[in-house]
Amino acid sequence: MNLNWIQIVLVIGVSFLAGMEGILDEFHFHQPIIACTLIGLVTGNLIPCVILGGQLEMIALGWANIGAAVAPDAALASVASAIILVLGGQGQNGVHAAIAIAIPLAVAGLLLTTVVRTLATGVVHLMDRAAEEGSFAKVDMWQIVAIIMQGLRIAIPAGLILAVGASRVSDLLHMMPAWLTDGLGVGGGMVVAVGYAMIINMMATKEVWPFFAIGFVMATVKDLTLIGLGAIGVALALIYLTLSKMGGSSNSGNGSGNNNTGDPVGKLIDDY
C-alpha cells in the first residue's frame, strides 16, 4: 500500500506523540492499542491495526522498568510494526508477521532509549545552570528540547521505514515461506499468553481471583449459561465471605462490641 504525503505526515506525527508519551505517560499514546489504532485510522487500515495493537498490548503488559533494568520499547514496537503492516498491504493476514517483527524492534529500541537518556543527562545539567541563573525561560526551553528528543526517538525510525517504501516491505513479507509465517503466528500467540500470565502471577491473590473469574465470564461468554452463572455465583460468594471475615475479625476478643455493625463493606469504608 502506498501512502500519500498527508498520511505520511500524520503517521510521523503519531510516532512523535508516541515517543513523547513514553516519558510523559499522560495520554498513553505510546501504548500499543492506542498507537496502532491511530496509525490504522490515518492510513485507512483501522481493523488490522486494532487487532495488531490489541495483541501487542497483551505482550507489553509484561514489560516494566524494574530498578536499572529498562523494559523493551513498546512505542517503537507499536509504531514500526503498524507501519510495516500497513505498507505490506496484507491486511489481517499480515498481523502475525508484524508481531514477530515488533519483538526484536522493541529490544532494539533499548539502544535508542539509552542514547536519548544519556543526552538528556546533559540537558539536566544545562537546566541546573539555568536554575542557578534564575532563568525560568531557559529551564522551560531545555525541558521542551528533552521532550522533543524523546519524540524524535520514534519519529526518525518511523520516517526511515516509510522511506523504504511499500514495495520493498511487501516483497520482504511475501518472501517469507508459509512455515515461517505460521511459526511466527504460533510464537506470537505464545508470547501474548506469557505476558498475560506474568500479570496474573503478580496479581494472583485469593482476594483478586473472584473478580478475575467474574471478568473472564463476562468477557468471553456471549450467552450466560448455567456454567457461567454458576461461576459468577461462586465468585460473589467468595467475595462476600472474604468481606465478612474482614469486617468481623477486627472485633474478635473485644468486649465492647460497639464497632462491629455486621456490615463488612461499611466497616471497610470506615477504615479507609
Dump pLDDT digits (tens) for 127-145.
999 899 888 899 999 999 9
Asked if residue 101 lies in contact with residue 59, where contact means CB atoms within 8 angstroms, the answer is no
Average pLDDT of the chain is 77
Cα–Cα dist 99/104, whole Å: 9
Dump pLDDT digits (tens) for 187-209.
655 655 666 676 667 666 677 77
Residue 186 lies in a domain: yes
Residue 272 lies in a domain: no
Which among 258, 215, 263, 257 has a CA at the least distance from the CA of 236?
Answer: 215
Higher pLDDT, 222 or 31: 31
Residue 197 lies in a domain: yes
pLDDT recorded at residue 16 = 94
Domain that holds residue 187: 5-203
| Shared domain check, 198 and 224 | no
Radius of gyration of the CA atoms of the chain, in A: 25
Number of domains in the chain: 2
Which among 184, 196, 201 has a CA at the least distance from the CA of 63?
Answer: 196
Global pTM reads: 0.64
| Shared domain check, 241 and 118 | no
| Shared domain check, 125 and 38 | yes
